[in-house]
Every structure is written in structure tokens, then in C-alpha cells.
Structure 1
Amino acid sequence: MGQTDESKAVVRRLINEFVNEGDESIADELLAPDYVRYDPDAPSGVQGPDEFTAMIGMFQSAFPDGEISIEEMIAEGDLVVFRGTERGTHDGEFMGHEPTGETFEITGLAMHRVEDGRITETWANWDMLGLLQQLGIVPVPDDLAEMAG
């Protein structure tokens, strides 16, 4: 297996075993101690391994059936990029909002730098506005709702 295939396997494990299945020990194994995540939806915009683990825990509590499907993945050098779809049901408190029971489906992109079998950096962008609109937390503008309806 080449370096890019090994790097893809690391990212797949992070998504499948940690994000989807909730195995926090995988995060310690796959994230470098100085891991940094750049995410416009993170409260600080930047997260270390502990903050990222806490964010995943919050999502797992709010959306216990939540799951990310990797639709496509590309690797070159030390970078792995994937396009994914996340689906779930709002069954727990999320950002101060009580469960709505609503389902959601959003898309996102993430790029990971993998060095020596561990992820050192991530740049991520997921459709959080779409998530909040699908849960009914943020209204959909009238003109967009009419076009969709």
C-alpha cells in the first residue's frame, strides 16, 4: 500500500470509527498531539485535539444516529480530501436548542494533512446553515422556500 492509500485509510478510520461509531480512543491514535482543525463553525475557528473530540461528543449527543458518508476521496502527497454527506436526527440538545425530532442531510468538504500515520491538520467546511434550517432553528427565507416548494 502506498503512502496516499495509507493516508486515506487513516482518514476513513477517523470518520468511521471515531466520528460515526464514537470510539474516542481512535482520536488519540489518529490525531497528532499538536493537531489543529480550522473550521469556520468552531467557536474559536481553530481547534486542538481535545476541542475536536468535545465537538464530536456534542454532535453524537445531539444526533445519536448521525453518520457521515464519504462520497469521494482524493489523496496527493500528504493531503487527503473528501466530499461527504452527513445525515441524522435531532434527538438531543444542540447548541442550546431542545430536540426537534427533525432529520437533516448536509454536505461538506474536509482536507486532512497526514504525517507518519497521524492527522496533523484539518480544514473543514460543512453546511451548518442548512443543518440549522432543516432542524427549524433558523428560518428559510421566504423567497427560497417558495422556489423550493
Structure 2
Amino acid sequence: MPETQDQAENKEIARKYPEEVISEGNLDLIDEIIADDYVEHNSAAPEPLRGPDEVKEYVSMLQTGFPDIHCGVEDLIAEGDMVVRRDRATGTHEGEFMGIEPTGKEAVVEGNHIHRIEDGQIVESWAQNDVMGLMQQLGLVEPPGE
């Protein structure tokens, strides 16, 4: 079945978040693509992120911990008002991150995200990132069996 114009536009919005906001540091874009009543259910956060300001804080935390962070999109799949995004982030842990002092180690984290998009803005997201793999790469957790 061919992709609709809305699905193509929704995929573009979902792509902008990792590539332009996280990788390029364009925090102003958050106000354009994240709805005021946005909610993100993130496996790495104890409470949902709510609204553009909390998203800016989250992205700033990522950029502080990994100043050279690059997040590339591997797959985008759209159906209706939903977009599934699979991405791969790389970076060097050179700043404090989640209370963890810099280790200087490079890390790769893969993640899966589902976004619900209405009227050109992301209104809700569900995020699953390989946080355990990140902690292992930073030397904070022993891999199983070692």
C-alpha cells in the first residue's frame, strides 16, 4: 500500500527529533515539533517527560554527558498517526550523565520509539533504549556471565 502524504510528513517530524534536535543541538525545534501537552513514556526515566521544557532538559542532559552525540535513524515506519523509529546513537562520555562522572569511553546505544503525531506535532511517545548496554560500555555494570 502506498504511503500517504500525512504518513510521509509524520515520518519527517519523527526524523527531525534525533537528527536535528539531539545530533545538531537545535533545541528551538522542540517548540515546533513537540506539543505543549506532550507525554513521553521513556524506559530510562523514572517518570514520564511532559511538555517541551522537560524534553529540552532531557536533550541537554544527553548533550552534556555526550557532547559529540550523534543519533542516526535506521528505520521509520508509519501507519495512521503513529510512527515507529529505530535509531542508533553514538558518543563519548565526556560530561556528567545521570549522576555518573565522565568515563571518557565511547558508547553505542540502540533504541526503539513509537510516536503519535497530531497536527504536525508529536503528542505522545514510548521509548525503549538499551540503557543496560550503555552502562556495560561505560564500565559501570559487568556483562552477564563475567
TM-score category of the 2 structures, normalised to the smaller one: over 0.9
- Partner of 1:41, secondary structure, is coil
The CA deviation at 1:43 is 2.4
More displaced 10-residue stretch of structure 1: 54-63 or 15-24:
15-24
The CA deviation at 1:140 is 2.0
- Partner of 2:83, secondary structure, is strand
Matched, 1:138 2:144: no
C-alpha distance after superposition, 1:70-113 (max 9, x if no partner): 11110010001011111110010112221111011121100101
More displaced 10-residue stretch of structure 1: 94-103 or 125-134:
94-103
Query: In 1, distance between residues paired with 2:67 and 2:61?
Result: 10
- TM-score between the two structures when normalised by the length of structure 2: 0.92
For structure 1, the 5+ residue unaligned runs are none
> Which residue does 1:64 correspond to in 2?
67
The one-letter code sitting in structure 1 at the alignment partner of 2:95 is: G
Query: In 2, distance between residues paired with 1:12 and 1:102?
Result: 27
Query: In 1, distance between residues paired with 2:72 and 2:33?
Result: 19
> Which residue does 1:47 correspond to in 2?
49
Query: In 2, distance between residues paired with 1:95 and 1:88?
Result: 15
Query: In 2, distance between residues paired with 1:32 and 1:94?
Result: 26
The CA deviation at 1:134 is 0.2
> Which residue does 1:84 correspond to in 2?
87
The CA deviation at 1:121 is 0.4
Over the matched positions of the two proteins, sequence identity in percent amounts to 43
Query: In 1, distance between residues paired with 2:81 and 2:15?
Result: 15
> Which residue does 1:123 correspond to in 2?
126
The one-letter code sitting in structure 1 at the alignment partner of 2:50 is: G
The CA deviation at 1:52 is 2.0
Query: In 1, distance between residues paired with 2:38 and 2:130?
Result: 23
